[in-house]
Structures are given as structure tokens and as C-alpha cells.
Amino acid sequence: MDASFGASNLVIFIACLLFSVGVHEAMHAFTSHWLGDTTASDEGRLTLNPLKHLDLYTSILLPVILILSGLPPFFAAKPVPFNPMRVKYDEFGAALIGIAGPLTNLSLAALAALVYRAFGGSISDGFIEILGTFLSLNVALFVFNMIPFPPLDGSRLLYAFAPEPVQKVMYQIEMGGFMSIFIFIMIFLYTGLGQIVLNIDNAIIRFLVG
């Protein structure tokens, strides 16, 4: 990230992040509730209030530090709890819960692109900057969270279709908790995966903006 990324840019980024991650997690909770599980509701997560879903370190400080360092951002909120035994459609229900968040981010990015394409020539540079940050951030949230590595959201979709031996391996990775996440961050940052993700981000942004 170059020196032009100043305090105002950071404020815009954090505001967009708070909203986008909050809505992402809320949609996990709403989908779980719709599928018959009240766990998220019982724990106060059935809300659009982003403060109920965010973690100070992994939702705010970590992505800001990575962006200021010129590295691909990694985002993580507090996982929305759900009881797979109470969810309709078994593993497919869990998959719906998993992809609800990323698909919401993609929808928000598409909405921002529509606003830009419709009014881009008549709105201020400041609003265009906010719109661009919001669009890029939501595309990044969509692409990153759809990576099928436990405990990312994309892994729920893979669980629904993977054979049992693969599911067992994924379960063991997920049980690794923070250590599994740490190892994945290292792989993401120091291999070609980060660049691949950025290339996919850019391709989706170009497609949406036209």
C-alpha cells in the first residue's frame, strides 16, 4: 500500500469493513434461523449490529495491518454458532448457512457496481472512493471466504459434496482451531495463493464495473 493510503482512506475502509462483515455474519445467523436452528438467535447473533459479530483482532486490526503492509487482507469475524443437528437438510443445510455470508458480500458488491455504472459520471470523487472501497472489499470477502479450507465458509459447501475420507481430513483441520488458521494465513501470504486470490478479485471487479 502506498503512502497515499492516509487516515481518511483508513476510516473509509474500517467503516465499510464494519458494515460488510457485520451483514455477512448476520446472514449466516438469519439463514440458520430460517433452517430451524435457534442457536444464533439464543446467543444474540440474529442482528445486523456489526458489533455483535466482530472481533477486534481478527476483524479490524489484522486486515488493517496487512493492508498497510501491502499484503492481501485476511478477514475473520466471530463465527456464528449453529447446531447441525437442528438444521434442515443436514449437510446441505449447513452448506447454505456457509455460503449465505459470501453470497451476501457478492450481492453488495454488485449493488455498488450498479450505482457506479448508473451514476458514476455525476457523483463526487469522494463518494466514488467510498463506493470503490466498498465494492473491492466485498469482492475480497466473497472470494476469500469461498476458499474451501476449514473453517472458511467455502469448506461448508465442500463438506456437502466431498466423500467421507475427505470430510474426515477437513474435520481434523477444523479441530486444529487457531493453529490451522495460522498455518493457512502463512500459506495465503507467502505462496502464490494470495496472488491468485487477488487476480480473481480483480477479474470479478472488472466484470461488475464493466
Block residue for cell numbers 455477512: 24
CA distance 129 to 16: 11
Question: Alpha helix locations (H) across the chain?
Answer: 7-34, 39-42, 62-68, 90-119, 125-145, 154-161, 164-175, 178-190, 193-209
Q: Is 209 exposed, middle or buried (0-12, 13-18, 19+ CB in 10 A)?
A: middle
Closest CA to 53 of 72, 85, 84, 27: 27
164: phi then psi, degrees, rounded to nearest 5: -55, -40
Which residue in the list 25, 91, 129, 164 is annotated as catalytic? 25
Tell me the C-alpha to C-alpha distance, in Å, between residue 24 and each of 37, 97, 141, 161, 174.
18, 11, 9, 23, 20
Mark whether 25 is an active-site residue: yes
The rounded Cα 179 to chain-centroid distance in angstroms is 20
* Positions marked catalytic: 25
